[in-house]
Structure formats: structure tokens, C-alpha cells
């Protein structure tokens, strides 16, 4: 089955929720009450980290990790009932939003319902005990794919959630399962509910390499795009983090963004973000707030759906624990307006129908969405550069749609923004991509 190639996929804004830590009570009702705010932010899809009951045997922390699932077909009673979740889905649909749930089909908790009923579904050691192939994941045990009976059980579970009203699946460590499994899952879910969104947590390149070296499963992003609409950009995430920390030049990351354009299907969609539940908040990782905002704006401006992790709109520094009650500190939603503008720009005609080009990497990132009826030009300052910079815009005063200021261009130069600036211009400038050794270097021998 071919993935959903709707252009809407590329311009989605996804919002990640951890129910336990999102609201005062850690319930579905808390999230339901918050849905109008998320809609006003420009959110299209609300992604719920696993909503299933959590295993207690060999758990981590006081309450256990949501990625250590006990039963794929039930709901964690901490969060409410199935009726509460159904009401949440109905309210989201009334507001024009979709609901995505996390599914974890590589592993289960040690006390999973499947351990007693289907021990043959698991990797087993010489003594017949189930185990994990990733030792640091001590609170889980691995399912052993392929197995037709296991596939039947898991696919039926997905079909059941689609019938319940779920609109999408974020698939944990999708790279570790066989591609044939995902193809069958997508095909059967499509028959029940067409247009379901499939998001793969594709994994870091080094992780895939190490698993293959040990004779374990590990499929590439290029393979996953046969089944999935969206993949993570973890294959270049390590470089992104090093660049944000100032340990590598910005151009290294931009070269890889450009490289993605050449190695994946033309309809590919990579989810862009600056933080998620597995990684440090951008406000902690970046040297200061303006630089954090610069990276946030650039990632949202890039090609691909944009993820906002719950609490990001409050400029949160702390990443909540997965294993305990560790509430998001909402305070005054310090950068919510900033994120709203970025989210709404994802639906701008230039981004929906235009051509994306990264024009320069240094001293500041300059990129554009070029469209004959109106283009967007962005300047992003991830290294806190000061002074004036050359820009390809004609002289004039351009309203900054990101900050309500004016970008004044004189003599082909403008003042570097503190974090980022995005302006409209017309007609298209015909910008060319910046030089990238990954794509442009050729050695010609006489």
C-alpha cells in the first residue's frame, strides 16, 4: 500500500500530549478542556503518548513508563474510561482536529497480558524466559517478529482503535519491526478507515547499524516510507543537537536537510521539531532564548509537519519524567503567540504550494518558500550574530509577520534579527540552494 500522499501531511501541526502530566488531574477530561486552546494554536493533530495500562513488574519510577504497555486494547485507568476518551475524540472532531495514539509493538511490559496467553510471541533466552534485545530497556520484553499469529493480534488491535475513532498512529521504534508487518497493518486499517495518518518513530542511524551487526531487525527510513506517511528525522538528529550546542557549524545540518531531498521519495515527509519526550527541551539545549526561538522558527519553516511538545508553548526548560507524576509548568504560556504564528504560516499558500529553498547557511540561515503569487523569506539567527547581513531582497521595508516589526533592507543589507524574521515578498526571487558538499562536490579528472 502506498502511504497517504496528501499535501496536507506536509503542513500539519502535531501536538504531543502526555496525559499524566498535562493537566491538574492527569486525565482525559483535562485534555478535553484544553482542546479549544490547542485548536486556537493551529494544531491539526493531537498525539497521545500511550494511553494503555502500564506494567508494574520491573517498572521504572513510582508509576512506570507508558511505553511499557500491559494491554494494547485497554485504557490506563489513571486517565479515565473508554467513554471519557470517546468524548475527547468527539470534541476534537467537532473542533476539526484529529487524534493520534501511540502504539508500541516492538515490546511489552514484563506483566503483559500476552506473556501468559502467548509466551511464543516473545524473544526467549535458553531457559525460556522473555527478554529485551536492548538491555537498557529493562522494564520491557521484546516481541519476536515475524509471527503470523502475533501479526494478526496486533493488526486487529489497530483496526479496533480505528473503529473506535482514532485518526492516526504514532508507531514506537517502527524501524525494529518488519516492513511486511507495517504494510499489512496499513492495508487492513485503510479498509476500515481510509486516510489514517501513519507516523513512524524511525530510529538513529547508529542504532540501526548496531542492530544489523548483531543480526537483529533494523529497517531504514527509505524502506519505512513504503508504508508510512511521516518519519522522524532521527537519522540527522544527532547532528542537529551538536549544531544547536555550537559544537558543529550550522552548514553541517543544512547539508543533511538538502541531502534528504535527494535520497527519499519525492512525497516524503519528515517530522520537524526541536524537542519531544525523549530529548531535552530546546530552552535547555540552546545557549539562550533567542537562539532557541531561532531554531524553533527554522524547524517550523522547514518542509514537513511540525511537532509541538506539550509545555513548549510555556518555554519550559524541564522535560517531564516518563515514570512519575511530573507536571508541566504552564505559567504564562510565554511563547504561545510565537508558536501560533509559526503554526498558521504552515498553511500559507507559499508553504502549501511553493518551492522550499535554503539559500544561505552563514552567517545566518536564510530560506524561502517561493510562490509566484506571494513568497515567504525567513532569516534565522541560531548563533546570535550581530550587525548587518546581505539579503537577496530588493530595498524596502518589509512587515515581519513573525514579530510585528519591520525588516528594513537598504543597499541589499539588513540588521540581523535577534532570533528570526519572516517577511512576504513578490514576485519570486528564483533563489538557488546554498552550496553543499554532499550534493554539489564533483571531482573532474582530465
Residue 445 clears pLDDT 80, i.e. is over it: no
CATH of domain 7-347: 3.20.20.80
What confidence score (pLDDT) does residue 6 get?
A: 64
What superfamily in CATH does domain 355-437 come from? Golgi alpha-mannosidase II (2.60.40.1180)
> Which residues touch 46 (CB under 8 Å, ≥6 apart)?
14, 15, 17, 31, 35, 38, 92, 97, 98, 99, 100
Count of other CB atoms within 10 angstroms of residue 372: 12
- Residue 429: pLDDT band by 50, 70, 90 thresholds? confident
List the grid coordinates of 243. Answer: 549544531
* pLDDT the model gives residue 178: 97
pLDDT at position 143: 98
pLDDT at residue 217, as a whole number: 87
For the segment 10-19, the average pLDDT, to the nearest whole number, is 97
Give the separation between CA 304 and CA 213, rounded to whole angstroms. Answer: 31
What's the average model confidence in pLDDT over 256-270?
94
pLDDT at 1: 47
pLDDT of the residue at 355: 94
**Domain chopping of the chain, boundaries:** 7-347, 355-437
Question: Which one is predicted more confidently, 266 or 3?
Answer: 266
Question: What value does the mean pLDDT of the chain take?
Answer: 95
Model confidence pLDDT, tens digit, residues 266-312 = 989 999 999 999 999 999 999 999 999 999 999 999 999 999 999 99
**Confidence label for 440 from pLDDT (cuts 50, 70 and 90):** confident
State residue 444's pLDDT score.
57
What cell does 258 get?
A: 538538502
Q: Please state, in angstroms and rounded to a whole number, the distance separating the CA atoms of residues 75 and 331.
A: 30
Question: Which pLDDT belongs to residue 2?
Answer: 52
- The pLDDT, as a whole number, for residue 361 is 95
**In the chain, % of residues over pLDDT 70:** 97
Q: What is the pLDDT of residues 94-114, one digit of tens each?
A: 999 999 999 999 999 999 999
* The three grid cell numbers given for residue 308, joined into one nine-digit string: 509541538
CA distance from start to end of the chain: 47
In tens, the pLDDT along 179-208 reads 999 999 999 999 999 999 999 999 999 999
pLDDT in tens, 127-177: 999 999 999 999 999 999 999 999 999 999 999 999 999 999 999 999 999
Residue with cell 508510512: 228
Amino acid at each position: 500500500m502506498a502511504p497517504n500522499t496528501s499535501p496536507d501531511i506536509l503542513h500539519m501541526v502535531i501536538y504531543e500530549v502526555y496525559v499524566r502530566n498535562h493537566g491538574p488531574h492527569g486525565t482525559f477530561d483535562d485534555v478535553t478542556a484544553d482542546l479549544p486552546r490547542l485548536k486556537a494554536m493551529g494544531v491539526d493533530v493531537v498525539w497521545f503518548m500511550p494511553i494503555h495500562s502500564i506494567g508494574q513488574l520491573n517498572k521504572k519510577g513510582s508509576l512506570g513508563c507508558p511505553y511499557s504497555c500491559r494491554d494494547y486494547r485497554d485504557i490506563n485507568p489513571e486517565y479515565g474510561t473508554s467513554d471519557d476518551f470517546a468524548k475527547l475524540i468527539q470534541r476534537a472532531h467537532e473542533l476539526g482536529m484529529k487524534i493520534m495514539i501511540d502504539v508500541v509493538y516492538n515490546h511489552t511490559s514484563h506483566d503483559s497480558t500476552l506473556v501468559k496467553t502467548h509466551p511464543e510471541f516473545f524473544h526467549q533466552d535458553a531457559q525460556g524466559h522473555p527478554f529485551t534485545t536492548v538491555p537498557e530497556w529493562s522494564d520491557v520484553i521484546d516481541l519476536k517478529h515475524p509471527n503470523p499469529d502475533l501479526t494478526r493480534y496486533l493488526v486487529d488491535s489497530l483496526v479496533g482503535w480505528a473503529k473506535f475513532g482514532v485518526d492516526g498512529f504514532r508507531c514506537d521504534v517502527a524501524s525494529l519491526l518488519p516492513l511486511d508487518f507495517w504494510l499489512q497493518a496499513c492495508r487492513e486499517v485503510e479498509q476500515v478507515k481510509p486516510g489514517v495518518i501513519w507516523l513512524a518513530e524511525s530510529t538513529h542511524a547508529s542504532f540501526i547499524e548496531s542492530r544489523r551487526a548483531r543480526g537483529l531487525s533494523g529497517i531504514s527510513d527509505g524502506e519505512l516510507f513504503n508504508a508510512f506517511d511521516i518519519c522522524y528525522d532521527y537519522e540527522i538528529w544527532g547532528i542537529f543537537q551538536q549544531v544547536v550546542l555550537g559544537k558543529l557549524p550550522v552548514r553541517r545540518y543544512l547539508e543533511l536537510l538538502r541531502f534528504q531531498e535527494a535520497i527519499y521519495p519525492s512525497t516524503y515527509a519528515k517530522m520537524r521539531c526541536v524537542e519531544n519526550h525523549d530529548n531535552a527541551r530546546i530552552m535547555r539545549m540552546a545557549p539562550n532564548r533567542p537562539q532557541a526561538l531561532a531554531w524553533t522558527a527554522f524547524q517550523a519553516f522547514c518542509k514537513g509537519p511540525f511537532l509541538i511538545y506539550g509545555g513548549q508553548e510555556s518555554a519550559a526548560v524541564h522535560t517531564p519524567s516518563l515514570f512519575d507524576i511530573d507536571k508541566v509548568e504552564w505559567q504564562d504560556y510565554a511563547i504561545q503567540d510565537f508558536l501560533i504564528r509559526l503554526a498558521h504560516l504552515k498553511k500559507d499558500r507559499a508553504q502549501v504550494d511553493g518551492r522550499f529553498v535554503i539559500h544561505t547557511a552563514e552567517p545566518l540561515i536564510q530560506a524561502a518558500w517561493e510562490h509566484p503569487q506571494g513568497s515567504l523569506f525567513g532569516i534565522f539567527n541560531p548563533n546570535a550574530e550581530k550587525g548587518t547581513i546581505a539579503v537577496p531582497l530588493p530595498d524596502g521595508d518589509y512587515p515581519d509577520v513573525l514579530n510585528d516589526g519591520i525588516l528594513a533592507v537598504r543597499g541589499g543589507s539588513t540588521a540581523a534579527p535577534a532570533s528570526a524574521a519572516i517577511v512576504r515578498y513578490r514576485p519570486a526571487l528564483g533563489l538557488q540552494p546554498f552550496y553543499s558538499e554532499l550534493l554539489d562536490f564533483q571531482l573532474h579528472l582530465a
